[in-house]
A and B are shown apart, each in its own frame.
Chain A
Amino acid sequence: MANDEFNVDLESNSVGSLPRDKKILWVEDDPLLSDMISRKCLANACLLLHATDADQTFEILKKEKPDIIILDILLPGKNGFEILRDIKSNDSLKEIPVIILSNFGQKDEIEKGLKLGAKKYLIKATLTLDEILFQVNDLLS
């Protein structure tokens, strides 16, 4: 059952290609998910910058300029929406595309994320890592 218009149905994402040689800032606090993310990026020759909360995120952004930011919503401390707002209100950061990747995604949350400037709003549990990376590549190409 298709959830809503922002959600992506699985079949159309079964084809596509993975991003290579990209710098990805991935904000994710779950260790197991983070482990799989780092393996995946390594396998695809992507540079992974990993943060688990808002402080780490902005610490990294002081030194690095990633091609894309993948942002979770439920995080310790500041949540993903607040981080997104801070990024978008910062002139040197606001051009970096942001994808929200969360399991927290009812209609109003999705609307809020897109309104704050996220390019996509994806639901973790409905996609495999490959499918998520197809979406990343899709956005970057």
Chain B
Amino acid sequence: MDKIFSFLSSNTHHPDTIENYLSQYKKIKKSYRNQEDKFINLYLNWEEFIINNKTENYKNYTKESLRDTIKKEIEIGNLPNDFRLIFLPKKEQSVLIYESFINDLVEYINDHLGHATLVKTVKDLKDPFLAKIRITANGLDFSLINKSQTDYSQHPIDEITKSFKNLVGAMYSKIELSLGEKLTKDIFRKMFNEFKEKYNAEMSSVVLKIIPERILGMDEWLSLMSKKELEKQVREKTQELLEFNSSLEKTIDERTRELKVAYDDLKKLDEKKSEFISVAAHQLRTPLSAMKWGLSMLNNEEIGKLTTEQKDFLEKNIESNNKVIEIVNELLEIDLYTKNEKIYNFEISDISKIISDIIKSLSSLSRKRNISIDWQIPKEKIFAEIDAKKISIVVQNLIDNAIKYGNKNSTININIRKINTMINLTIKNRGIGIPAEANEEIFQRFFRAKNAIRKETEGMGIGLFISKNIVEDHGGRIWFDSKKDGETTFSVEIPISRKFGL
């Protein structure tokens, strides 16, 4: 021991410091209690001073090189275990620290819970590595582990740590069983603090690796850990986080680029699709015109007289022809509403008149389905600043849908009222209803709910898409409510004046 401290003296440059540390050393030598622990503490403090106060004329030691030099020049084999471990390689040092801490625990269990409990605790773990620990009347004998260097060098430190951690956990449980949680935790804390007094922060924090997390809460962990160790861990974590962040940023950048490319591709594809629809629709229109004109002339008997049967037949063909033309018109219309080239003519118009007109134009369809329309024209005209033609499209679509998807012999209720600065229109029918899974998509172009297709095979799935566009362009909103029994209400809300729009 003398040799070690005289070595430290010869490597210290500051005379006052040498004197200070040496006087401490002499004091410890004279005392009787915890002599060994105090030497450890003094050594570590002195060592730290040497490392942190490098001078030109002296060898500039790091912690490791200083310890290595001592190990070479001074025989350390005779030093007590707890002191000796300072000079050992990291792995052996850790294991000895573990053992030292566990020995304190063992002492406690032996004294308070009895030797049998100790034996059972170790045996019950059935850990092959821990099986090398001999249990003596005084405690645990780790010599088998420590001496058979080859043996434990086969075990990675993580595995050894895990085994010891399990042992500490089992011991904690045993103590907790008889003393309760609070007291047990206090004991652990006290033991750890004693350990911290003996060694420096860095070495005592090794113990934390074998204390199961459940024993000490996060706050306790933080308070037990030294400031230095904490700073070190924070630095490490911060570094990890920085690296993670920078890799995250890189990943996000990459993904953003990928998304941008995908978006551009989709946009191009969408433009191509629109273009295709537009071209195809125009191409279809010429032969369709010829058919329409020709069928009409035939039907008017301009080419020759027709029998009743021929006329019937021809009329059905005219109907088909008109349907195809309508589909083509719709295709071109959707193209228009998909592009941002909407032209609106806002004028003060009477909305109730629009509704009355649409109902009149759809009367033959509703008669055919035996559906009655309940519509009371409001006593006062309801004016709003709208594009009447566009709003007609909305009203027409909604009433047309209400008829097409309504039950036979049912009634459609149409209602309009002014609420403050908004006009609220509701169209309620009883029919097939809107299935819940279609809620999200009902206003999307080319979407038709499955039950709608079953009921009415024709249709492009664009009416509601266009309606929504128009309503929103008016600064309003459109929504629906469909009950399980098929009662469905579509609501449209538009501002009476543009300045009240959403």
Contacts and interface: CB of A to CB of B under 8 A. Distances in A.
Contact of A126 (B297, B325, B333, B336): B325
A106 B336 contact: yes
A125 B325 contact: yes
A48 to B, nearest CB: 15
Contact of A5 (B297, B335, B389, B397): B389
Interface stretch (A19-27, A32-40, A81-89): A32-40
Contact of B285 (A36, A124, A128): A124
Interface in A1-51: 1-5, 11, 30, 32-33, 36, 39-40, 43
Interface in A108-131: 108, 123-130
- In the complex, which range does the number of interface residues on chain B fall in? 20 to 34
Most buried by B among A5, A106, A127, A130: A106
A124 B286 CA distance: 8
A32 B286 CA distance: 10
Contact of B290 (A30, A40, A130): A30
Nearest to A124: B289
Most buried by B among A36, A124, A125, A127: A125
A134 interface: no
B336 to A, nearest CB: 6
Given A3-B329, A107-B343, A33 B293 contact: yes
A92 interface: no
B392 A2 contact: yes
Interface string A91-109: 0000000000001101110
A8 B392 CA distance: 15
A129 B292 CA distance: 9
B396 interface: yes
B283 to A, nearest CB: 9
B329 A129 contact: no
B282 interface: yes
Interface string B268-303: 000000000010001001101110111011001011
A103 B285 contact: yes
B345 interface: yes
Given A3-B333, A5-B389, A125 B297 contact: no
A43 B326 CA distance: 29
B330 interface: yes
B208 interface: no
Given A36-B297, A106-B336, 7 more contacts: A3-B329, A4-B389, A36-B293, A107-B336, A108-B341, A127-B292, A129-B293
27 contacts: A1-B333, A3-B332, A4-B389, A5-B345, A11-B361, A33-B286, A33-B289, A33-B290, A36-B290, A36-B293, A36-B294, A40-B297, A103-B282, A104-B282, A106-B278, A106-B332, A107-B336, A124-B285, A124-B286, A124-B289, A125-B292, A126-B325, A126-B329, A127-B292, A128-B296, A129-B296, A130-B296
